Amino acid sequence: MPDRPKPFSTEWMNAPASKPERPGRVRRTANQRVVSFFGRFPGERTLTVFVIVLLTMGSFWFASPHGEAQVTTGAGLVAQAPETPQIRFAAPRPTAETEISTESLLVTGGASGQSQAPVVLDLNLQPAPVDEQPTTPGGVLPNNRILSFYGFPDNVEMGILGEYDMDRLLELLREQAAEYEAADPSKPVLLAFEVVASVAQQAPQGDGSWLLDAPSAMLNEYADFTRENGMLLILDVQIGYRTVENDVKGLRPWLVQDHVHLAIDPEFAMEEGQTPGRHIGSVDAVDVQWAQQWLVDLAIDEGVSPKLLIVHQFKESMITDKVSIAPMPGVQLVIDADGWGPPDQKRAAYDFVNNATAIEYAGVKLFYKQDDPMMSAEDIVNLDPSPLFVMYQ
């Protein structure tokens, strides 16, 4: 092939157009079809110019807008983002972990060795305000104050209930009630006996429960007496190695009666390896919640008045996860500040038990033989909050 000017050189641009040469017919392959197509153009220069024009027009076409722009909105970005893991926190617990009991409130020492006043940490233990409206219309609270004697019949070591017969107990209880009516005339006093229905023992017993149950005939006698005298009867369970559910359900024949109510004493609810009287037991919030719901269902099923549920406490560990306990419509919950000691100790224990969490109704227990000096009825009604359940042992 003769030498030709280099494409796009001055000689190439001024040279006359050459006669196009028609290529021979060959078997087309996929790659040769394009060459065959462009080979039909008139000439090399014309072809080159055509390609340049085509490319120029194509560049303008691609540069121009075609339809609507596709914009990802903020919502779209959120929808496309990977899901953020959800962190679930456990239920909140009280900040102060120190256990407070009647044994630990009294501080002794000093140069003279004399007893000093209880030391109470300056902690903010005030709960959120509780609605003053009762969650359970038709219950005995808050329009009354309950005054109760505690113990086990014929057992003088367990409280005043074992020191006298029922008639004499009622006389003494009425005398005590007169003091409360004088101290707070706004609250009529309802009288009650609290009988320990399952008594903790220091040996396993035949069923391994470490409990002795009160005889049915005894419970019937007290149920009849309290009903005939317009009183309340509170049956106290000490749990031992039973579950709360097992210990409570056995009392259904008496709890179906309108005036009979329930108390739980965590002090004797044992775990493996513990002995009642040597170790301080505990129940969990789940146990209290179960008892609340069971009493609600019982009252509905039997068509009786709403029940009281009283839970005794003098150490923080006695009710685990207490912050999860809340009022439940259909049952009235009382936390009773248990434990004995002088007035300063009693007040400190009462504040801890009833102000550390939002409890519907506050209660307090006094001990005729151990509290020295004994707090008066006026002292008790002036506690904050004023207790609507007062028990004497």
Tokens representing residue 175 in the block: 């005398």
- State the pLDDT at residue 277: 92
In a domain, 245, yes or no: yes
Q: Cα separation of 144 and 95, whole Å?
A: 34
Whole-prediction pTM? 0.68
Q: Cα separation of 290 and 324, whole Å?
A: 12
Tell me the per-residue pLDDT of 109-123, one tens digit each, with 9 for 90 and over: 333 333 333 323 333
Domain count for the chain: 1
- State the pLDDT at residue 35: 44
- State the pLDDT at residue 18: 53
In a domain, 388, yes or no: yes
Tell me the per-residue pLDDT of 339-388, one tens digit each, with 9 for 90 and over: 999 999 999 999 999 987 778 999 999 999 999 999 999 999 999 999 99
In a domain, 55, yes or no: no
Q: Cα separation of 319 and 283, whole Å?
A: 5
pLDDT exceeds 90 at position 155: yes
Tell me the per-residue pLDDT of 161-206, one tens digit each, with 9 for 90 and over: 999 999 999 999 999 999 999 999 999 999 999 999 999 999 999 9
- State the pLDDT at residue 130: 43
In a domain, 44, yes or no: no
Q: Cα separation of 144 and 181, whole Å?
A: 10
Tell me the per-residue pLDDT of 303-341, one tens digit each, with 9 for 90 and over: 999 999 999 999 999 999 999 999 999 999 999 999 999
In a domain, 313, yes or no: yes
Tokens representing residue 247 in the block: 């210990």
Better-predicted residue by pLDDT, 129 or 170: 170
In a domain, 110, yes or no: no
pLDDT band at 83 (very low <50, low <70, confident <90, very high): very low
In a domain, 199, yes or no: yes
The CATH number that applies at residue 226 is 3.20.20
State which residues form the domain around 152.
Answer: 142-392
In a domain, 23, yes or no: no
Q: Cα separation of 227 and 162, whole Å?
A: 19
